[in-house]
Amino acid sequence: MTHTKSIFATLATIALFALAGCSSKDSKFLAQRKALFNKDWQFHLNDSIKDKDTIGIATQWRTLNLPHDWSIEGNFDQKSPVGTGGGALSGGLGWYKKTFTVAPEDSVKVTSIVFNGVY
């Protein structure tokens, strides 16, 4: 019985130290902060990949909110390269950009943006 209590006390001590280490404010693994990032995107339709280096300075950007599917704004065409399986819509190349501000205290932290449903 004493041996069992000793093992239990040892395991409890290890667990206590492990949990104490996880609760440190200085931990580099802080809780995630999530924010919606869907509003005020800029969109530009340009089918030329040759313009990839200058597309950021295009003057004809349209402000919109996500989710956005620019292909449904076009005409339906059963002879489209993707056929009716692709909705009979023409493909192409659309560009999106967004400007956002990072607080000075967050500028040295790792920030990730996760995109869901990108096609």
> Which domains does the chain carry?
34-119 (2.60.120.260)
pLDDT at 30: 56
Q: HSE of 59 in the Cβ direction (CA atoms, 13 Å)?
A: 0
Q: Write down the pLDDT at residue 10.
A: 60
Query: pTM for the whole thing?
Result: 0.59
Q: What is the pLDDT of residue 72?
A: 79
Contact 102, 111 (CB under 8 A): yes
Provide the pLDDT for residue 58.
Answer: 62
Res 15: pLDDT: 56
Low-confidence ranges of the chain (pLDDT < 50): 24, 26
H or E stretch covering 21? helix 2-22
**Residue 17: its pLDDT value, please?**
52
Alpha-carbon separation of residue 69 from 74, 86, 102 (angstroms): 10, 13, 28
Cβ contacts of 86 within 8 Å, gap of 6 or more? 80
